[in-house]
Amino acid sequence: MDTFYAGAILTALLVGLVFSRLSATVLFLMAAIGCLIAGLIEPDAFWAKATNEGLVTLMLLMLCAVALERLPWLGLLSRRIDSPNRYLAVARITAVAASTSAFLNNTAIVAALAQVLRRSRYHLPSQLLLPLSYAAILGGTLTLIGTSTNLIVSSFLADRRGNGLAFFDFLWVAGPVVLVVGLLLVVLSSRLPKRVVAEEEQGEYVLEAVVEREGGLVGRTVRDAGLRELETLYLSEIIRGSQVITAVAPGEVLQGGDRLNFVGDIKDASRLTQISGLTTFASEEGLMQPSLTEVIVAPGSILNGRTPKELGFRARFDAAIVGLQRDGETVSGKLGRTALRPGDLLVLATGEDFAQRKNLGRNFYLLSDDLDVRLLDSKQGFLVTLALGAVIAMAATGSLSLSVGLLGLLMGLWLSGLVSVDDLRRRFPFDIWILVASALVLAQSLVGSELISTFMSLVLPVMMDQTPLIGLVVVFLLTLMLTELVTNNAAAALMFPIGYGLAESLGVDVMPFVLAVAFAASGSFLTPYGYATNLIVQNIGGYTRGDYLRFGLPISVAYSVGILTMLCVTYF
């Protein structure tokens, strides 16, 4: 009966991850609670998963990243990566992104460098940003702390055998692959789309305004109201109740409550506030003299799948949405009633309290210059870099556990005032903590219920006539497919028990199978949704989903062949 319950929970989880709009964190938590209720895991073991050493290490690293993202070196490097020669520019981008992502949070690196590269003097953003994302993904595979996926897989391994992965277990396999695929990124950069976006068009969004019911515009035509004479703003549509009027005629008569969508330069939003009888969305929300800020909706944000209206966006963030871009295109309609998605590029009209809100880091990647994090000065940066290097060196040599070293580093950062309690509270990764702890519960439940062993008993007759390499390839490809469908961390959590169980059943070393899960879960090159860095660059670069497939397919094939080859050479 336990096997039946475990199978039902796992099936429901997979269906939910692929088809549901619920976040992976919520779905994994529901699955873990289901295992507890079904008696597949004891309560003591259930709660113990929340303090797994690998998971604690991941939490500490993400808290230390609050200060590490403020190191001044990335900003200095970013000023030197652009070049008139596209191949040289992409080569520099690849080298900087890959090397820094091996030790720092790759989403923060991509967000910072994308802000610089979108203003390249020589190339369109669409010619630079996808290699940036892919290079950051590649760099994250080099070390234990390069990506949360590696630490998650390490935490699963520690849960099964008592010790996780060493700091450089990934480097010996991924190092040569990253070099070769990085070179391929440079060579194939000529295939990147050339989305010609004129400088004056780069800030174009849909700006929403409403005709006041008692205002002077009611009953006047679009021409008479002067709405055809705005130099940088074009009236694209009128929303009147459930009716959407496109190709607006100059003689169209305005009615009270009409919502007008203008396409144009976001910097000229203030023009609309000067028209008597017209209320902009920002002023409607109580932001009379707002500043404009660009942000990207983060994966795992509370905004995902919800509209600004139902969420209480204005009260929650002291901001209102005045522009939205998605999948490289401007989104029209009622912005307050548009369900938001991860990767959406928003222009916010912000109030005075916006920058002080504690929930920004969990929900957005900030792109505007005036909201960049406070960089450390050169002396502080040197000391923090030295301390991080010491922690990494001691962890790599085994003289100090990584979790203890990161705890000491975090305490030092806090006592020195480089990070505050508010910083740590704001950035605490609750979603990842819950997801990984829940996945550990699920993994133990699947093993304890004998679902894994039952599955292996069905698979082994087929696999016995094959070499272990075939099993490794199958595990890698299944994980690679899942990471494109359900995100990297969820794919690693689902596939680790299967990969580990298959290796044990075949009587071979589990390490190549464990590493195959980690590398495949990070190998998201085909869609914008499998990895956060791909989402960050999607709308900034104006990429469509087809762009990821066309440019990412040869990268994905080369990466897969390279990783499998290195695993075979190293372990078989």
Phi, psi of 500 (to 5 degrees): -65, -45
pTM above 0.85, yes or no: no
pLDDT at 463 > cutoff 70: no
pLDDT beyond 50 at 78: yes
pLDDT > 70 in the chain, percent: 88
> What's the pLDDT tens digit per position in 325-376?
776 566 655 667 788 888 888 888 787 778 777 778 778 887 765 444 456 7
Q: Which residues pair with 304 in a beta bridge?
A: 340
Model pLDDT, residue 496:
92
- How far apart CA 512 and CA 533 sit, in angstroms, is 26
Residue 100 to residue 109: CA distance in whole angstroms: 8
Q: Would you call 372 helix, strand, or coil by DSSP?
A: coil
Per DSSP, 368 falls in state -
Q: What's the pLDDT band for 199 if we cut at 50, 70, 90?
A: very low
Count helices and strands in the chain by DSSP H and E runs: 25, 10
CA atoms in the 13 A half-sphere facing the CB of 166: 12
Furthest-apart CA atoms within the chain: distance in Å: 82
The alpha carbon of 357 is separated from its chain's Cα centroid by a whole number of angstroms, namely 21
Higher pLDDT, 203 or 88: 88
3-state secondary structure of 480: helix
β 204-211/278-280 pair status: antiparallel
Instruction: Give the model's pLDDT for residue 198.
Output: 38
* Sequence-distant (≥ 6) Cβ neighbours of residue 174 within 8 angstroms: 138, 141, 142, 519, 563, 566
CA atoms of 123 and 85, how far apart (whole Å): 9
Q: How far is CA 541 from the centre of its chain?
A: 15
Cα R_g (the chain), whole angstroms = 25
- The pLDDT tens digits of the residues spanning 509-557 come to 999 999 999 999 999 999 887 788 888 888 888 888 889 999 999 999 9
List, for residues 14-31, the tens digit of each pLDDT value. Answer: 888 878 777 788 889 999
CA angle, 18 then 146 then 519, to 5°: 50
Name the helix (H) or strand (E) containing 535: helix 532-540
How far apart, in whole angstroms, are the C-alpha atoms of residue 366 and residue 384? 23
Helix (H, G, I), strand (E, B) or coil at 204: strand
The predicted pLDDT at position 551 comes to 94
Phi, psi (degrees; rounded to nearest 5) at 225: -75, -5
Q: What is the pLDDT of residue 329?
A: 63
Question: Which has more confidence, 88 or 115?
Answer: 88
Strand partners, 350: 291, 319
CA dihedral 35, 40, 44, 47 (to 10 degrees): -20
The answer to which of 209-213, 267-271, 406-410, 429-433 has the lowest mean pLDDT is 267-271
DSSP-assigned letter for residue 127? G
Contacts 24+ apart (CB under 8 A), 495-499: 495/520, 495/521, 496/153, 496/156, 496/157, 496/443, 497/156, 497/443, 497/446, 497/447, 497/452, 498/452, 498/455, 499/475
User: If you average pLDDT over each of 5-19, 337-351, 399-413, which comes out highest?
Assistant: 399-413
CA distance 492 to 515: 10
- Span of 10-14, 220-224, 225-229, 286-290 with lowest mean pLDDT: 286-290
Q: What is the mean pLDDT of the segment spanning 425-429?
A: 79
**By the 8 A CB rule, do 40 and 10 touch?**
no
Between the two ends of the chain, the Cα-to-Cα distance in Å is: 38
Give pLDDT, residue 460: 66
In whole angstroms, what is the distance from residue 527 CA to residue 3 CA? 34
Q: Is the dihedral of CA 285, 290, 296, 301 positive or negative?
A: negative
Neighbours of 467 (CB within 10 A): 13
Which token pair is 420? 């505050």
Residue 197: pLDDT over 50 = no
Residue 202 has pLDDT above 50, yes or no: no
Question: Which spans in 279-418 are helix H?
Answer: 281-284, 308-311, 313-317, 360-363, 378-397, 402-415
pLDDT for 88 equals 94
- The answer to whether the CB of 221 falls within 8 A of the CB of 250 is yes
pLDDT (mean) for 223-231:
77
Rounded (5°) CA angle 268-75-89: 85
Long-range pairs, 74-78, Cβ under 8 A, ≥24: 74/100, 74/104, 74/109, 74/112, 74/113, 75/112, 75/375, 78/112, 78/113, 78/116
Which pLDDT value is given to residue 372? 44
- Which tokens go with 253? 């008569």
Residue of 304 and 202 predicted with greater confidence: 304
CB 195 within 8 A of CB 265: no
Contacts of 182 (CB under 8 A, 6+ apart): 94, 95, 98, 135, 138
Question: Can you tell me the mean pLDDT for 275-293?
Answer: 68
Burial label, 511 (beta-carbon count in 10 A; 0-12, 13-18, 19+): middle
- For residues 193 and 178, the model is more confident at 178
In eight-state DSSP terms, residue 261 is E
CA-to-CA dists, residue 246 to 220, 235, 238, 544, angstroms:
18, 9, 7, 24
Please check whether residue 495 is in contact with residue 479, taking contact to mean a CB–CB distance below 8 angstroms: yes
